[in-house]
């Protein structure tokens, strides 16, 4: 999430093109929380809402000098159009990164460079899914992926997860149930490592089980792995792609291990899909930015990126610990996981409270979060919120949780005095 | 066109996902000319095929130094996620550029920064067009736009153009004819200035006429203007958008006036459409690259970009003249326009020759072009080729045309001896 304050949430009135838009655009609406974000981004507010990596420890000044040199020696390529599949040098560079998660058989030709993970999600959905097709996905789910699936009029069907990640049996049952309904199940979308927002990791036992089910029913797996190298104890897990090259499309990104400002991510796909991804990439953006790609390569070639990732791990662990401690200290009425990597804590708030309705009061109290409802496509999630510990310092995190505790305490008092403020809606049967 | 040699044109055989793709992906195929491009990009071949700008005269070494400074002082923003609508500073920067073409009423909030013009075409089609909707377009037509329309399963209906650009009467007749067929006509796609590939410019008389027809029938105009500032005599034309803010979506790019390596373009749209474009941009790529946008702003803020554009005009005029002279000298059997700006000459070859079938023999003779068939969606164009004069030096252009003349002369001899080598196909009724 970019937590973009610049998108007006106001509805456009008297739009002369109302009624002329494509069906897929009719459900596109400015998020209701955007107006709040404009306020949430004020410096006096502690934002536990955003997913921005903290970049203060990157060697950016030295990189700026290296870039200047690179542009002087390789400018003819850097400033020019490039290949729709991505720069061959960068496609080579990603191989040792993936090897850290046991992907050792990929070749540069299997790799497609995309304009950030978001574009990768867009391209794979574009080539695989007709309107009405089903994508199975862990719930709660990455909000950016939900947006893509919605924009292609795909039905997202939730599959339950627990502390060990996606539940294989629930995956298989969902396929069977959807097929009984006559639906075409195209993909499973999974974030196996340090899930956004749930913070959990798919266990090693479950990975081959999930793959076996995918093969059995010929369902493609879309493995989205932006956080896999950010395990706080340096632990990594073998990617699903490392166990199956034919049924997995792998997606990873430089946004969290280097920086998001270049918008560079990459995919690995089996040949038929890879070829269509390249054509879709060309149709969508012509080619990824050479300058962005060569900036990434300049960093990888000239700096100790593995040491930098180790440094990130320690920094994010410290922030996770700060949040976990503060929560234990002042929000014993809530429950949460203690994630072993990634950026997020998924907080269950006390019964009777509504994370979405409470948000304006939290921002008034100068703390921001994302309501759990943002991570479901079916109205669930008001009993949860996502707290990010990636960007603020440990001190700010502690302060933010203290403020949040004050808000929650006041909400609980209000509920006690006046009953639950929430509007009771229908209950959903699917999902967790 | 990137003339990307890195996309294999080989068909993937035994694809286990065959039959699983989205309908929109089924027609996506690697271009038949890609394999040839891999050969055409060899240094011994004079490529008159590509649309790459010549960048040798840009002050890139100084810009590299400025960039290094910018990254050191504004790195916190440059390396981070940005706004889905685009950096406010750059949205301000584009206003004086557009003022050169009489767009004086646009505000930064009307502007959306996109990841190259290609992405702009993708986004507007995504929000406006259902499968089966009609986009009217000048024929021949920019191949990248045809690819986008095809990928959204849009019916492209050709509208005739002549030396004065799109013919208004043909535009109106096409709307009426398509509506009679029960089709939903959503947009007119036009490149009014120095058209790719046709090289022509819509006359000043026709511009208000085209707008009036668009208003009368409530058809949106998509004005694609990458070459507008590259008139060889410094002439500019008032943009369609300058005459109508409600019915025109304007698209322009830095690729030809600065450099394409950053992939930065911009759109101006009426409020309702602009809001959906921002949401579509977020769904497609999350946000444009801050680093790319700030690179553009660094250039605009620190260099005399108007002087640079004047320099480009002189350089491209010299190349246009070299091509025109060489054609007059050695290809009197052909006919062509003499474009007053832009990158391309649209060459009519002698009757009986087939530009598509001739291409392998041209590449053997070490000269490359794009067959006219690439610019039609209906098999027309074999009697034309697009010759680019943007990238090669005047000497190389002259040499390339000489080689081409040799090829065409040999083809004509073969036709004389053995009859036309072309496979006679059905004749198309629509289009020019």
Quote the DSSP letter at residue B363. H
Q: Which residues partner with A187 through β-bridges?
A: A135, A220
Largest separation between any pair of C-alpha atoms in chain A = 70
The vertex-B354 CA angle with B353 and B358, nearest 5°, equals: 100
B209, B164 contact by CB (below 8 A): no
How far apart are the CA of A17 and the nearest CA of chain B, in angstroms?
A: 7
What's the count of helices (H) and strands (E) in chain B, helices before strands? Answer: 14, 15
Kindly report the nearest CA distance between residue B116 and chain A, in angstroms.
7
Query: With contacts defined as CB-CB under 8 Å, which chain A residues touch B126?
Result: 22, 24-25, 151
Q: Which residues pair with B166 in a beta bridge?
A: B161
Taking a C-beta distance cutoff of 8 angstroms, is the pair B404, B362 a contact? yes
Q: Please name the member of A58, A84, A295 whose beta carbon is closest to the beta carbon of B4.
A: A84
CA torsion sign, A417 to A421 to A426 to A431? negative
DSSP state of B231: B
Which of B21, B255, B289 lies at the smallest CB-CB distance from A261?
B289
Distance between first and last Cα of chain B = 23
**B-chain residues near A77 (CB < 8 A):** 261
Residue B225 has pLDDT above 50, yes or no: yes
Per CB-CB distance under 8 Å, the chain B contacts of A281 are none
CA A399 to chain centre: 25
* CB burial of residue B429 (10 Å; 0-12, 13-18, 19+): exposed
Separation between Cα atoms, residue B397 and residue B114, nearest integer Å: 33
Contacts A43 to B, Cβ<8 Å: none
Of all helices (H) and strands (E), which one includes residue B220? strand B220-224
Q: Which of B52, B64, B134 to mutate to test the interface with A (most CBs of A within 10 A)?
A: B64
CB atoms within 10 A of CB B112: 28
Residue A109 with chain B: CB contacts under 8 Å: 8
Low-confidence residues in chain A, pLDDT < 70: 1-12, 29-35, 420-432
**Which residues, at least 6 apart from B210, have a Cβ–Cβ distance to it below 8 Å?**
B166, B168, B171, B188, B190, B202, B221, B240
Q: Which of residues 3-42 of B touch A (CB under 8 A)?
A: 4-8, 12, 15-18, 20-25, 28-30
Chain A residues touching residue B144 (CB < 8 angstroms): 286
- Phi/psi for A54 (5° steps) reads -90, 120
- pLDDT score for B283: 94
> B271 at the A interface (CB within 8 A)?
yes
Contact B287 A263 (CB under 8 A): yes
Q: Which residues touch B212 (CB under 8 Å, ≥6 apart)?
A: none
In angstroms, rounded to a whole number, what is the distance separating the alpha carbons of residues A369 and A391? 13
Per-residue confidence (pLDDT) for residue B144, from 0 to 100: 92
Rounded distance, CA A432 to CA A430, Å? 7
pLDDT band of B27, cuts 50, 70, 90:
confident
pLDDT band at B35, cuts 50/70/90? low
Distance CA B27, CA B377 (A): 12
Distance, first Cα to last Cα, chain A: 23
For position A41, what pLDDT does the model report?
Answer: 78
Residue A176: name the closest of A138, A216, A140 by CA: A216
**For residue B429, is pLDDT > 90?**
no
CA distances, B373 to each of A33, A172, B51, B303, B354 (Å)? 49, 48, 16, 40, 10
The number of beta carbons lying within 10 Å of the beta carbon of residue B412 is: 16
CA distance B136 to B189: 6
Confidence of residue B125 (pLDDT cuts 50, 70, 90): very high
Of chain B, the percentage scoring pLDDT greater than 70 comes to 92
Contact residues on chain A for B88, CB-CB shorter than 8 A: 6
Taking the Cβ of residue B73 and every Cβ of chain A, the question of whether any pair is shorter than 8 Å is answered with no
pLDDT attached to residue A236: 96
Q: How far is CA A378 from the centre of its chain?
A: 18
Test B28 with A84 for CB contact under 8 angstroms: no
- Across-strand partners of A165? A162
Task: Tell me if chain B has a CB within 8 Å of the CB of A160.
Answer: no
Residues B260 and A76: beta-carbon distance below 8 Å: no
- Nearest chain B residue to A154, by CA: B22
Angstroms from B187 CA to nearest CA on chain A: 10
Predicted pLDDT of residue B42? 87
Structure tokens at B136: 């009217």
B272 closest CB neighbour out of A18, A63, A273: A18
Q: Count of residues for chain B?
A: 432
Q: How many CB pairs under 8 A join A and B?
A: 308
Contact flag B68-A72 (C-beta cutoff 8 Å)? no
- Cβ contact A67–B67 (<8 Å): yes
Quick check: helix, strand or coil at residue B405? helix
- CB contact A272 to B (< 8 Å): yes
Q: Å from B24 to nearest chain A CA?
A: 7
- How close is the nearest chain A Cα to the Cα of B11, in Å? 8
At B421 the pLDDT is 52
* Closest partner CB to B279 (pick from A28, A126, A295): A28
pTM: 0.94
Interface test with B, best of A80, A87, A124, A377 (most B CBs within 10 A): A80
Q: B52, A280: Cβ pair inside 8 Å?
A: no
How many other β-carbons are positioned within 10 Å of the β-carbon of residue A132?
10
SS (H, E, C) chain A: CCCCCCCCCCCCCCCCCCCCCCHHHHCCCCCCCHHHHHHHCCCCCEECCCCCCCCCCCCHHHHHHHHHHHHHHHHHHHCCCCCCCCCHHHHHHHHHHHHCCCCCCCCHHHEEEECHHHHHHHHHHHHHCCCCCEEEEECCCCHHHHHHHHHCCCEEEEECEECCEECHHHHHHHHHHHHHCCCCEEEEEECCCCCCCCCCCCCCCHHHHHHHHHHHHCCEEEEECCCCCCECCCCCCCCHHHHCCCCEEEEEECCCCCCHHHCCEEEECCHHHHHHHHHHHHHHHCCCCHHHHHHHHHHHHHCCHHHHHHHHHHHHHHHHHHHHHHHHHHCCCCEECCCCECCEEEEECCCCCCHHHHHHHHHHCCEECEEHHHHCCCCCCCCEEEEECCCCCHHHHHHHHHHHHHHHHHHHHHHHHHCCCCCCCCCCCCCC
In whole angstroms, what is the distance from residue A199 CA to residue B331 CA?
A: 68
Residue B64 touches chain A, beta carbons under 8 Å: yes
Encode pLDDT of B293-332 as tens digits: 999 999 999 999 999 999 999 999 999 999 999 999 999 9
Q: How far is CA B198 from CA A223, B143, B229, B339, B381, in A?
A: 45, 12, 17, 8, 12
Question: With contact defined as beta carbons under 8 Å apart, do A207 and A238 qualify?
Answer: yes
- Residue A207 in tokens: 């990975």
Taking CA–CA distances from A20, the nearest residue in chain B reads B128
Q: State the pLDDT confidence band at B32, using cuts at 50, 70 and 90.
A: low
Predicted confidence (pLDDT) at residue B9 exceeds the cutoff of 50: no
Weakest mean pLDDT among A160-169, A262-271, B334-343, B413-422: B413-422
Q: What is the pLDDT of residue B10?
A: 54
- Nearest 5°: the CA angle B100, B102, B107 is 95
Given CB atoms, is A261 within the 8 Å cutoff of chain B?
yes
Q: What is the DSSP letter of B224?
A: E
Rounded to two decimals, the ipTM of the complex is 0.93
């Amino acid at each position: 999430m970019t937590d973009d304050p610049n998108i007006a949430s106001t509805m456009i009135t008297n739009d002369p093109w109302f009624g002329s838009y494509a069906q897929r655009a009719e459900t596109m609406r400015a998020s209701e929380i955007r107006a709040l974000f404009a306020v949430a981004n004020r410096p006096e507010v502690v934002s536990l809402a955003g997913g921005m990596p903290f970049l203060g420890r990157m060697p950016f000044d030295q990189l700026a000098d290296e870039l200047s040199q690179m542009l002087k020696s390789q400018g003819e390529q850097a400033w020019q159009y490039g290949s729709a599949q991505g720069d061959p040098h960068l496609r080579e560079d990603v191989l040792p990164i993936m090897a850290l998660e046991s992907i050792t058989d990929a070749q540069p030709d299997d790799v497609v460079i995309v304009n950030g993970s978001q574009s990768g999600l867009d391209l794979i959905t574009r080539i695989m899914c007709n309107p009405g097709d089903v994508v199975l996905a862990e719930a709660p789910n990455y909000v950016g992926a939900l947006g893509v699936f919605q924009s292609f009029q795909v039905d997202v069907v939730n599959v339950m997860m627990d502390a060990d990640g996606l539940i294989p049996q629930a995956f298989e049952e969902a396929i069977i149930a959807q097929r009984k309904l006559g639906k075409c199940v195209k993909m499973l979308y999974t974030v196996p490592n340090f899930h956004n927002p749930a913070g959990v990791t798919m266990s090693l036992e479950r990975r081959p089980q999930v793959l076996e089910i995918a093969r059995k029913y010929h369902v493609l797996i879309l493995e989205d792995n932006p956080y896999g190298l950010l395990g706080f104890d340096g632990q990594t897990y073998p990617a699903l792609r490392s166990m199956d090259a034919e049924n997995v499309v792998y997606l990873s990104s430089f946004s969290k291990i280097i920086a998001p400002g270049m918008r560079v991510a990459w995919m690995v796909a089996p040949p038929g899909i890879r070829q269509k991804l390249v054509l879709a990439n060309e149709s969508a953006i012509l080619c990824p930015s050479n300058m962005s790609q060569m900036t990434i390569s300049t960093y990888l070639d000239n700096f100790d990126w593995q040491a930098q990732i180790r440094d990130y791990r320690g920094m994010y662990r410290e922030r996770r610990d700060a949040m976990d401690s503060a929560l234990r200290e002042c929000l014993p009425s809530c429950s949460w996981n203690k994630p072993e990597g990634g950026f997020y804590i998924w907080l269950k708030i006390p019964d009777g409270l509504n994370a979405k309705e409470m948000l304006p009061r939290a921002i008034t109290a100068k703390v921001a979060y994302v309501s759990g409802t943002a991570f479901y496509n079916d109205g669930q999630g008001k009993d949860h919120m996502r707290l990010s510990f990636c960007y603020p310092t440990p001190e700010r995190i502690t302060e933010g949780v203290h403020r949040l505790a004050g808000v929650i305490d006041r909400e609980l008092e209000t509920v006690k005095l006046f009953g639950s403020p929430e509007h009771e809606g229908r209950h959903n049967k699917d999902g967790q």
